[in-house]
Copies of this chain bind each other. A is one copy, B any other.
Amino acid sequence: MSRYSISDLARELDITPRAIRFYEEQGMLSPERRGQERVYGSRDKVTLKLILRGKRIGFSLAECKELIELYDPAEGNRVQLETFMRKIEERRAQLDQQLLDIEQMKLELDTAEERCRAAIAATSA
């Protein structure tokens, strides 16, 4: 079992200790303590990676928190589970929309690049 200090994780994941403490404040992490120091395990690391990935695709921290809770099978009754399923479907739809957006964006980058090439060619002529 691997253990990390807060600055270990900060270095490895390229974020600040402040950010990590902030995520804890928001209830997304709850590391152990040795005295007053925080000690993180591999599960915490996974959670942090989930947060960072969520952020990269444009989710707010609140949304990232939901994703973490989805990952965490928090003992729920039937109604809650069905609510979860709906949330999962919403996410999936959102992700599919983002895939479309990205494809579209890439096409536009293609044409922008093409115009650049043309302009450079015109310059050297």
Say yes or no: A71-B101 contact (C-beta < 8 A), given A58-B58, A95-B106, A120-B81: no
Chain copies in complex:
2
> Is A42 part of the binding interface, using a Cβ–Cβ cutoff of 8 Å?
no
Cβ of A32 within 8 Å of any chain B Cβ, yes or no, is: no
The answer to whether A109 and B91 touch across the interface, beta carbons within 8 angstroms, is yes
Residues on the B chain within 8 Å of A50, using CB: 108
Contact residue among B78, B95, B116 (Cβ-Cβ distance under 8 Å from A84): B116
- Count of chain A residues with a beta carbon within 8 Å of a chain B beta carbon: 41
* A88 interface contact, C-beta 8 A: yes
A13 within 8 A of B: no
Q: What are 18 residue pairs bridging A and B, where the CB atoms are less than 8 Å apart in the complex?
A: A53-B101, A56-B98, A57-B57, A67-B105, A67-B108, A70-B108, A73-B119, A77-B123, A78-B120, A78-B124, A81-B120, A81-B123, A88-B109, A88-B112, A91-B109, A95-B105, A98-B98, A102-B102
Contact with B along A16-56 (1 / 0, CB 8 A): 00000000000000000000000000000000001001111
